[in-house]
Structure 1
Amino acid sequence: MTDAAAGTPASPPPSPWERERSARASAAPARAPLSRERVVEAAFVVLDRQGLDGLSMRQVAAELGVAVSALYAHVNSKDDLLELMYARLFDGFRVPDPDPERWQELVRDYARFGRQRLLAHRDMARISMAHAPFTAELLPHVEALLALFRTAGLPDRIAAEAGDLISTYIDGFVLEEGVWQDRAGRHDGDGASPDRPEGHQMVDDMQSYFASLPAEDFPHLRALAGLMVTESADERFDVGLEIILRGLASYLPDRAGRAHPDAD
């Protein structure tokens, strides 16, 4: 039989074995090659789902659909993997150039961004607290942060401690946030992850408890109960950061050129 319009034989339909072969080929797409980047990405997926205590090389391998042994071509150990995850926090991040007139504003931006980076993944604050940023890749970040303090005029002894002080505050605050989120979720039974447990029954219970304390024994707890448990995490973080920055600023030489007596 011919195609009257084209004057050529009509194409036959595909044979049964050709249809089967095509179906099998489409059912098994090529798998992307394993790489260090894919291993780290899979580790973050496991971390967000199961937390740091549930993160293992076996779980990461299962997430990727490979044997555990395949991971060791790209990472040396779980500790090596955690270090790579920690270093990933700094991808695309740059400490701003120092400006002695705006140093506090620059440190505020640095701290707020650092907190958001930690909050992006479950238990990341725990990983951060266990790793110092003194690798070849991360030393430039440390150098740039110290430059903010020294250029502002802080004495060297204070500048040397300031970077670690800020980083410890960020890590500790985010770690506490994670604890609050877990407790609030268990208390409410809905797995919620609130910014701060305000609006939850747990907060009402805490406020009621503080209000019920004997005034003669706990006057300050009673007076501050509302402020201690109802501010948002963002507000609490900024207040704590402001306390640190004002403390650091107290070490700046005054206009007469006199240094803080405890600077050395």
Structure 2
Amino acid sequence: MSDPAAGTPTPPPPSPWERERPARTHVTPPRAPLSRERVVEAAFTVLDRQGLDGLSMRQVAGELGVTVSALYAHVSSKDDLLELMYTRLFGGFEMPAPDPERWQEQVRDYARAGRKRLLSHRDMARISMAHVPFTAELLPHVESLLAVFRTAGLPDRIAAEAGDLISTYIDGFVLEEGMWQDRAARHSGDASSLARPDLGEMAAEMQNYFASLPPGDFPHLRALSGLMVTGSSDERFDIGLEIILRGLASYLPDPDSAAHTAPEAT
């Protein structure tokens, strides 16, 4: 038979022995098994979106689509999770062998890499300041940094403090950067935004303000108004680091003095 209007064959009715097939259902792909790595990655996602104050085990579980209790098979607590996140930042980082001729350059590289690590995720400076790096995974990094200071010839008392001084400087600098970032995000009306504030515009406003102060009362602020605030965080970080390095270098033994006091060969 054919459809006279369309000129095409009419499909036959189903045969009596043809089984009725169930409707095809959507097949959900299997979910990747939960692991410590997936928990940490989800925590970073929540951290970048909501900040440290909004990071909770419940939020991480929601990001993964699992119950909170499922997380505890891989992390023991929120503090354990934060420590894992902090440790993850050091993955792949290696200090070079200490070189007494290049120790300041090696410390500069270490500090810049540390700042870059902390800036890679929101509020990591706060997490860093709350977690001492004396875990099995991080102790080798502490050892390597101390080796740079001691090999350079710094007195042990100064070398012992120098590592903490550098770390505190990095944490504090990045913490300030994050605070200005959050302030700019709130000002824009998007508290979850990670957009950087316009540092150039902010610096210009502060410089103009300092320059407008009464010269009799604030001669130094006026004189330094164009130098105290710059539009480049990189430049400010490097200058502060240079001040620290030159201070540390002042503790190195004077080679000329050491030569004069050395006993003569017999």
Q: Same fold (TM over 0.5)?
A: yes
Q: Conserved in 2, the CA contact under 8 Å of 1:184 and 1:197? A: no
Map 1:110-259; keep pairs closer than 5 Å.
110-187=110-187, 193-194=195-196, 197-199=199-201, 202-258=202-258
What root-mean-square deviation, in Å, do the aligned CA atoms of Structure 1 and Structure 2 show?
A: 2.0
Unpaired segments ≥5 residues, structure 1: 1-14, 259-264
CA contact (8 A) 1:196 1:232 kept: no
Code of the residue aligned with 2:196 in structure 1: it is P
Match of 1:33 in 2: 33
How many residues end up aligned between the 2 structures? 239
- The change in CA–CA distance for 1:70 and 1:126 in structure 2 (over 3 A counts) is same
Q: By how many angstroms is 1:221 displaced?
A: 1.2
- What's the TM-score, normalizing by structure 2? 0.84
1:17 aligns with 2:31: no
What's the TM-score, normalizing by structure 1? Answer: 0.85
Alignment of structure 1 residues 57-72 onto 2, 5 Å: 57-72=57-72
CA deviation after TM superposition for structure 1 residue 17, in Å:
3.5
Q: Distance in 2 between matches of 1:193 and 1:62?
A: 25
**1:181 and 1:197 in contact (8 A); partners too:** no
Amino acid at match of 1:17: R
2:188 and 2:154 mapped to 1: Cα distance?
A: 47
Deviation at 1:157, TM superposition (A): 0.4
Amino acid at match of 1:198: G
CA contact (8 A) 2:230 2:236 kept: no
| Per-residue deviation, residues 217-264 of structure 1 (Å, max 9, x unmatched) | 111111222222223000000000000000000000011345xxxxxx
Q: Distance in 2 between matches of 1:196 and 1:174?
A: 16
The CA distance in 2 between the partners of 1:257 and 1:63, in whole Å, is 63
Q: What one-letter code is carried by the residue in structure 2 that aligns with 1:129?
A: M
1:17-71 Cα offsets, whole Å, 9 max, x none, are 3660xx422xx00000000110000000000000000000000000000000000
Instruction: Work out which of the two has the higher radius of gyration on C-alpha atoms and give 1 or 2.
Output: 2
After superposition, what is the alpha-carbon deviation per residue over 1:69-121, rounded to whole angstroms, capped at 9, x for unaligned? 00000001101101111111111111111000000000000000000000000
SS at match of 2:21: helix
The separation in 1 between residues aligned to 2:45 and 2:21, in whole angstroms, is 40
Task: Tell me whether 67-76 or 176-185 shows the greater mean CA deviation.
Answer: 176-185
Q: Contact 1:108–1:241 (CA<8 Å) still a contact in 2?
A: yes
Deviations 1:126-175 (A, max 9, x none): 00000111011111111111000000000000000010000000000000
**Contact preservation (8 Å) 1:111, 1:166:** yes
What is the rounded CA distance, in whole Å, between the counterparts of 2:48 and 2:149 in structure 1?
Answer: 34
